[in-house]
Amino acid sequence: MEQPDECFDPLQFAVDLNLSDIKNVNLDENVFISKGLINQANGSSSIESKSLITQANGSSFIELSATKVTCAIYGPRETSSTSDESYSKCLLETSIKFSPFARQHRIDPLSVQYDNDEDCEESELCSRLEEALLPCILLHKYPKSQIDIIIDVIEDDGQHLLSAIILSATVALIDACIELYDTVVAKSLKTNDSLFTLCYMPNLAQVSCIFFDGEATPNYLDELTDEAVKQCQLLHKAICKVVISDLKSAAALNRKIV
Amino acid sequence: MSIDNYEELQKFIDLNEHYRTYLDEHNNTRPDGRKFHENRSIQILKKFLQHSYGSSMIRFGNTTVICSITGQLAKPSLKSLRSGFIQTVVLLPRTQAWSTYGRRQQIINENLTLSQHLLDIIYKSKLINLEDLCIEEGKWVWCLQIDFQCLNNDGNLFDSCLLALNVALHHTYFPTVKIDPDTQKPLVYTKELKHFQYNQQQEPLCCTIAVYEYEQEYKYLIDPTLEEENIAKCILHYVLLKNDQICLIHKTSGAPFSIDKFHQCYSFAREYILELRRKLNQ
């Protein structure tokens, strides 16, 4: 079969796109957190594990309005790095990849991406994720090992990407039974053209980091911080609910087998 | 993958032994509780994605595959001015590279062969007519991009990808494109969507059979999990169309097969695919 020489994105030629159309902000955003996908029982006799990615130590799937992100955690496992750092604490390796259908414009998965490409969004998101997670993992408990966090962005609606990534990493870390000081809950707020993301640790009542792109006065930033902290606490309750119900069902399953 | 109990430890040490001891104790059932001819529970989700023209997500037990159909505009080749193009890409989870069973080389080749198989099936079964992708002869055609993202590989990717493709095609809507007569440039009306025309009569669906040798005879495991695929002597793929005609047979080497064994497997495949079609048309 032949392949075309050059492909054009149909959106380039779109006639009826309303760019000045401000989309209605969906005030009740749907949040869906799960460590596996919900298994609707249809009478089969097979025992299926409920985790999304079976090979991984921990995995999760987060849906925040239209953003869908899956995360898999491998670790702690032996590290191949022999640097001085690795002798005293655990190394964190993060990898984020977009699906070809994640955005309006298709991202060709077969095109090679060079590592020292400066405007590589994936590596920027990786470093932000690391910054957000480093304060909460007990790295000194896993010397000479590394934890791999692998994230697949299935769909991105522009606003919630960073918070979905951090939330999915948190839930997957809990699923992988890696020791944490506290869960990291992240919330993104979008106002006009600026995006504000806050990573919060609810039990310790500490902010792990803040990311902000745009223009704002310091007072406005204070307001945004307060608003985000309140919403983070709600998200934290949702995460707790999921973790506890998962633990209960796992305990029930174990009891059945034993 | 954590080793929590005796069963998982046994699997980790020697998968083959584990299967053999299980089959010794329980007759006619596999370790995950199914009979040999039983398939896993199937979940189908339609219209999963926002930005694609058509999408679906399929779960065969733990194997999860997302299919997304988008289109791009291209100029047709000079050999056939009316035909469009189709590109299929299968992406395996990057997480597979770290699995204990996976040998990296094997995994990288598997998705390429799968992409090519799917393209062959679409082309040979005339599921999508290339002429339907034409907008204006000689000037603009659609280039259909079919992306399969496998979130979790627990065996039987072929079946799930093909089923996902069928479900996604059923609900694909393309924007209308008209050619501006003055500038010869395409005008895309994204708000006016129309249903994608494809050959709904041909519904190619696949049945994967793993052949396992136990006590000198072959056991046919339908819808194998990843472990079963690894211990199997050979793997058979049967792709059948709606009128039970064979579209593609693919057999990996390993187990010598006579013609009557092929016929036997064909009858298994027919029953299995009949059930799949019932699921698809629900």
- What ipTM was assigned to the predicted interfaces of this complex? 0.81
B121: its two tokens: 């099936």
Q: What is the full DSSP assignment across A170-233? A: HHHHHHTT--BSS--EEEEEEETTEEEEEEEETTTTEEEEEEEES---HHHHHHHHHHHHHHHH
Q: How far is CA B75 from the centre of its chain?
A: 29
Alpha-carbon distance A57 to nearest alpha carbon in chain B (angstroms): 5
Provide, as residue numbers in chain B, all residues whose Cβ is less than 8 Å from the Cβ of A99.
Answer: 66, 68, 91, 147, 149
CB-based contact A129:A209 (threshold 8 Å): no
The three-state DSSP-derived secondary structure of A103-140 is CCCCCCCCCCCCCCCCCCHHHHHHHHHHHHHCCCECHH
Instruction: Classify residue B44 by burial, with Cβ atoms within 10 Å: 0-12, 13-18, 19+.
Output: middle
**A3 vs B149: CB contact, 8 Å cut-off?**
no
pLDDT in tens, chain A (258 residues): 677 777 788 777 777 766 544 444 444 455 666 665 443 333 333 334 456 777 788 888 888 888 888 888 887 888 776 677 667 888 888 888 888 888 888 877 766 555 555 557 888 899 999 999 988 898 888 888 888 898 989 888 888 889 899 998 998 898 888 889 988 998 888 887 888 999 999 988 888 889 998 888 999 989 999 999 998 888 888 888 888 888 888 788 776 544
* Res A41: pLDDT: 35
Give just the sign of the alpha carbon dihedral B104, B105, B111, B114: negative
**B73 vs A8: CB contact, 8 Å cut-off?**
yes
**A14 vs B188: CB contact, 8 Å cut-off?**
yes
Q: Of B149, B117, B139, nearest to B252 (Cα)? A: B117
The domain limits of chain B are 1-31, 42-195
N-term to C-term CA, chain A:
55
Q: How far apart are CA B198 and CA B128, in angstroms?
A: 5
B246: its two tokens: 């064979």
Check if CATH label 3.30.70.1350 holds for domain B42-195: no
The domain limits of chain A are 17-257
Provide, as residue numbers in chain A, all residues whose Cβ is less than 8 Å from the Cβ of B190.
Answer: 10-11, 14-17
What is the b/e burial string over A153-186, where b = at least 16 CB atoms within 10 angstroms of the residue's CB?
A: bbbbbebbbbbbbbbbbbbbbbbbebebebbbbb
Name the 3-class secondary structure at B70: strand
CATH architecture, domain defined by A17-257: 2-Layer Sandwich (3.30)
**B188 vs A7: CB contact, 8 Å cut-off?**
no
Report the residue from A10, A97, A154 with minimal CB separation from B94.
Answer: A97
pLDDT digit string (tens) for B20-35?
888 888 877 888 778 8
Give just the sign of the alpha carbon dihedral A181, A124, A53, B43: positive
Report the residue from B51, B152, B189 with minimal CB separation from A54.
Answer: B152
Report the residue from B33, B73, B149 with minimal CB separation from A10.
Answer: B73
Q: What pTM, to 2 d.p., does this model score? A: 0.86
